[in-house]
């Protein structure tokens, strides 16, 4: 096996049979990514809040139901294509795809790239419903960095090193958007989402699995990704873990405080 790996984007002029929009340099990728992120942040932090300042919140029940159902279906599709790829080529891929084989890999990266951009609508719906408490640093950081990751992956360095990452993350999104979809049906359906409290735990487990896979993929692959990109990915996942862990403990403390207040109120009623 040829263990060398041609980074097709290092020499744009010599690339053949590759769509030019899929062979960007790092500088080209950075410019495109900057435009997308600035547009997103301006819309959700400036334009839409100004638009909603004098308006009542939109309910968007039907829109949210359709949106979340489509997100579940799309995430199931992503799980399917990445599970199929993993079953064919293994958990740790050592193929170093090139030419038509690489183009096939690019075609399977595109759906994930699209998914991370569709996810940005989450924030738009929060703002339109005036759920400002949901537009947190964690929320914005997660969405912007995932978009950054997929831009670097597809536009700068497409590879099959992230197949397992895509599978795990897409599976978590199946659960997450299923929860959002059922919640959008109203309080009568709350009994069907008893597993809400386990979602953050599942996400934390996801990050541990992803970091483990990235480590061994980089270590054992004959065509590892560039060092800066690898450590960038590890940094993102570790920061997600830290932020979600912080959210987990904050939620736990809030729940414990509410339970303690409820117990005090019950004791007070019994005393009276």
Active-site amino acid positions? 142
- How far is residue 87's CA from residue 81's CA, in Å, rounded to a whole number? 10
CA distance 148 to 269: 54
**149 neighbors 169 (Cβ within 8 angstroms):** no
Distance (Å) of CA 49 to CA 79, 83, 142: 35, 40, 20
Contact 175, 202 (CB under 8 A): yes
Contact 58, 173 (CB under 8 A): no
Chain-centroid distance of CA 125 in Å reads 17
Which of 113, 146, 126 is CA-nearest to residue 37? 146
**CA dist., res. 261 & res. 258, Å (int):** 5
């Amino acid at each position: 096996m040829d263990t060398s790996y041609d980074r097709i984007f290092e020499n744009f002029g010599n690339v053949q049979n590759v769509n030019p929009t899929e062979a960007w340099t790092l500088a080209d990728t950075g410019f495109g990514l900057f435009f997308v992120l600035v547009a997103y942040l301006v819309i959700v932090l400036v334009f839409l809040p100004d638009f909603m300042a004098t308006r009542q919140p939109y309910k968007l029940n039907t829109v949210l139901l359709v949106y979340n159902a489509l997100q579940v279906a799309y995430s199931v599709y992503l799980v399917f294509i990445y599970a199929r790829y993993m079953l064919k080529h293994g958990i740790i891929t050592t193929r170093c795809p090139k030419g038509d084989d690489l183009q096939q890999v690019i075609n399977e990266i595109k759906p994930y790239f699209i998914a991370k951009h569709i996810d940005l609508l989450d924030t738009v719906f929060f703002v339109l419903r005036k759920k400002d408490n949901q537009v947190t640093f964690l929320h914005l950081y997660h969405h912007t960095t995932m978009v950054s990751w997929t831009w670097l992956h597809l536009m700068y360095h497409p590879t099959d090193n992230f197949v397992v990452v895509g599978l795990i993350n897409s599976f978590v999104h199946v659960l997450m958007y299923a929860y959002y979809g059922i919640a959008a049906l109203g309080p009568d359906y709350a009994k069907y989402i008893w597993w809400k409290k386990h979602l953050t735990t599942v996400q934390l487990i996801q990050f541990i699995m992803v970091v483990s896979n990235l480590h061994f993929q980089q270590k054992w692959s004959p065509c590892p990704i560039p060092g800066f990109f690898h450590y960038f990915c590890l940094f993102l996942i570790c920061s997600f873990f830290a932020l979600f862990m912080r959210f987990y403990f904050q939620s736990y403390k809030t729940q414990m405080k509410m339970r303690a207040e409820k117990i005090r109120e019950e004791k007070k009623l019994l005393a009276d």
